[in-house]
Structure 1
Amino acid sequence: MIDQYFQKQDVMRRLIYALIPLFFFAVLLYGWSVLLQTAVVFAGGIATEYVFTRQRGKKISEAVLVTCALYALALPPALPLWITLVGIVFAVALAKEAYGGFGRNIFNPAIAGRLFIFLSFPVPYNAGWIVPASRGPQGFSGLFGTTQAAGVDTVTAATPLALLRTGEIPPLMDLFLGFRGGSSGESSVILILLAALFLVATKTANWKTMASTFLGALTAAGAFFFGGLIPGLSPASFPGLSALVPLAAYMMSGSILFVTVFMATDPITAPNKPLAQFVYGLMIGGVSMTVRTLAGFPEGTSFGILVANTFSPFLDEHLPSPKKKKKKLQTAGATQ
């Protein structure tokens, strides 16, 4: 039935499969409102693409489903629905279809939509963070939407990055499992890593781009931390190996891992040459951490992706391709 209206794209379907566990976990953390927000995103994104593809006599690309899924998971859970809708319409109409549709866009549509509403509606955007479900000695509390914590205003809940800027380090296990605030789908490190393994095993995503993005982010974060430039975190307060704890918390906070696995590996906006892909990943990670640390924004991954998208054609054009190995010719009588 779906093939009647959508172009079948197996790569896009595998990406959706990898994202499904993150949606389930987002509902556990923030309640059923995540499903309503997701429904608005998919309805708006599919309808917007239909308007354009209908004029060309083509089917809707399944890539728009990936754009919708990534955009929905990258949003604050309590973002007003009308702002959510504005963002996905912008993402599909102006960041994708305006360039000619699938395969022609130069910017990642989901990130473009997210950054557009962040810059256009910063107050409601930053008020969209809520307290997620938590874990404790008695088990898990606040699942399925009962996220009100005692004495905490859920619409101004601090994200891990905000806590780190005050010198408070969230428990590493909570960061790893995902029981912390943030965008709907960015929190669970373990689920993101499992998704990465699935994408690499099925040859859906390039592991080298993932590795170089993480390397770029880790290098920049380490330089800023040990240089004493990260607000609230001073290496002098964590002597010896204990200094790795706040650095690990800094890396597991925010959306850098989510972006590394699902955004940096976008085959449309990423370069094609191996060396270009490596530099591209370094650029995403480095710019993301630079903006996060030194600029006045709560996170820098959207800027990292869009800056790297801008330079992607340049990297493909000017960085060398790998040299092809010459096949050894075996001639008769050449055996010794």
Structure 2
Amino acid sequence: MKNLYEKYFTKQKMMRTVLIPLIIISLFSIYNFGWRVLALLLLNLFVAMVIEYLCEVKLYKRKKISEAVIITSILYTMTLPVSLPFWISAVGIAFGIFFGKMVFGGFGKNIFNPALVGRVFIYINFPNPLTIAWNEAAKGLPGGFGAFTLPHIDALSTATPMLAFRNEGVLTNISDLLIGNVSGAIGETSKVLIILAAIYLIYKKVASWQIMAGSVLGFSVLSGILNLMGVETIPNPIYGMLLGGFLLGTVFMATDPISAAKTVPGKWIYGLIIGIVTVIIRGFALFSGGMMFAILMGNTFAPIIDYVVRQRKANKKSKEAVV
């Protein structure tokens, strides 16, 4: 089995490090929503590997596919509601891998985060399953470990903490938000696990703390100002960061080393853009979330930001040399 794996996959230490906290979050997600989480994950992983194999090995004539495809598949699954039809999920990951990664030349050459490219594609084309089909979260044991999926939620306006605040002004208990016993996308609910994952990834030096800090700073400052100004659609910064997929996106997707900014000043600017844009979309757009759009917007500007930072540095050196 090991030889078979090594035959098709390129070893990537960084990806294996990221995989550890994602497995823990996935296990909690199964407890929270049922074994359908695992079924979606395995389907997405299979489709993603097939698409990448056909492109990397057959089209680009490379020997193996990247272990990054495993991370992409898990992250994509973590952004979905557990009740999403399997065929829509498969279409999304196929689109994300091909148009978000392979059309740019494969691993290491993509401009956008492929998991979010797939998620945005199905969000735009199949909005109802992505926005109105939510399931209850587990309470007690065995939780989701004893069911394929938990019951649907009928009260749409308060189905998730984000919708409850946006539609009714209802503030979910912070302890529930931290632990994760709330409805929402599969992997976004347990904020404690995501925060622990951030600490672990920073300690292992596989995720940029500057990007995370920039994102949190941009989000906190703008949401704090707007909240003090009395904008009803903007909660206080701490509560706002615990809603929806902000922390999941900040820790795992904004820090994607391929699509994020590379220079140190660029990482701060990139993170600030993501945090600020998330607040603007949440508070003033039709979308209840906004993190996925904010990260893709950050991906768009990341190469430009790095270019400007490097040019300024080069110009500074030229002036110093002349003097």
For 1:211 and 1:44, how far apart are their aligned partners in 2?
Answer: 34
Cα deviation for residue 155 of structure 1 reads 8.0
Query: Where does residue 306 of structure 2 map in the other structure?
Result: 316
Query: Where does residue 184 of structure 1 map in the other structure?
Result: 186
Asked if 1:38 corresponds to 2:28, the answer is no
* Residues 234 and 240, structure 2, Cα contact 8 Å, conserved in 1: no
Query: Where does residue 162 of structure 1 map in the other structure?
Result: 163
Cα deviation for residue 230 of structure 1 reads 3.4
Question: Which consecutive unaligned segments of at least 5 residues does structure 2 have?
Answer: 318-323
Query: Where does residue 16 of structure 1 map in the other structure?
Result: 19
Percent pairwise identity: 39
Superposed CA offset, 1:92-118 (max 9, x none): 011100000011100010011111100
Asked if 1:82 corresponds to 2:87, the answer is yes
State the secondary structure of the residue aligned to 1:94. helix
Q: What amino acid does structure 1 have at the position aligned with 2:12?
A: Q
* Residues 270 and 298, structure 2, Cα contact 8 Å, conserved in 1: yes
Cα deviation for residue 81 of structure 1 reads 0.6
Cα deviation for residue 201 of structure 1 reads 1.0
Task: Name the count of aligned residue pairs.
Answer: 306
For 2:303 and 2:120, how far apart are their aligned partners in 1?
Answer: 21
Query: Where does residue 130 of structure 1 map in the other structure?
Result: 135
Stretches (4+) displaced over 4 A: 139-142, 154-157, 321-324
State the secondary structure of the residue aligned to 1:72. helix
For 1:157 and 1:76, how far apart are their aligned partners in 2?
Answer: 15
For 1:321 and 1:74, how far apart are their aligned partners in 2?
Answer: 38
* Residues 208 and 278, structure 1, Cα contact 8 Å, conserved in 2: yes
Query: Where does residue 321 of structure 2 map in the other structure?
Result: none
Distance 1:271 1:232, change over 3 A: closer
> For the pair shown, which has the larger CA radius of gyration, 1 or 2?
1
For 2:160 and 2:282, how far apart are their aligned partners in 1?
Answer: 13
Asked if 1:100 corresponds to 2:102, the answer is no
For 1:295 and 1:70, how far apart are their aligned partners in 2?
Answer: 25
State the secondary structure of the residue aligned to 1:313. helix
Counterpart of 1:148 (choices 139, 147, 151) is 151
Counterpart of 1:63 (choices 62, 68, 80) is 68
For 1:225 and 1:115, how far apart are their aligned partners in 2?
Answer: 28
Superposed CA offset, 1:118-170 (max 9, x none): 01100122133211113xxxx56844346338xx5388861101111211111
Query: Where does residue 287 of structure 2 map in the other structure?
Result: 297
Counterpart of 1:279 (choices 269, 278, 292) is 269
Cα deviation for residue 257 of structure 1 reads 0.4
Query: Where does residue 263 of structure 1 map in the other structure?
Result: 253
Counterpart of 1:200 (choices 190, 199, 202) is 202
Distance 1:293 1:27, change over 3 A: same
For 1:65 and 1:231, how far apart are their aligned partners in 2?
Answer: 36
Cα deviation for residue 225 of structure 1 reads 1.8
Superposed CA offset, 1:191-228 (max 9, x none): 01111111111111111111111111112221222222
RMSD (CA atoms): 2.0
Cα deviation for residue 57 of structure 1 reads 2.5
Question: Which consecutive unaligned segments of at least 5 residues does structure 1 have?
Answer: 234-245, 325-336
Q: What amino acid does structure 2 have at the position aligned with 1:160?
A: P
Asked if 1:3 corresponds to 2:6, the answer is yes
For 2:287 and 2:303, how far apart are their aligned partners in 1?
Answer: 27
* Residues 147 and 154, structure 1, Cα contact 8 Å, conserved in 2: no
For 1:75 and 1:314, how far apart are their aligned partners in 2?
Answer: 31
* Residues 221 and 247, structure 1, Cα contact 8 Å, conserved in 2: yes
In the superposition, the TM-score normalised over structure 2's length comes to: 0.89
Query: Where does residue 243 of structure 2 map in the other structure?
Result: 253
Distance 1:210 1:142, change over 3 A: same
Cα deviation for residue 3 of structure 1 reads 1.5
For 2:291 and 2:113, how far apart are their aligned partners in 1?
Answer: 12
Q: What amino acid does structure 2 have at the position aligned with 1:54?
A: V
Q: What amino acid does structure 2 have at the position aligned with 1:268?
A: I
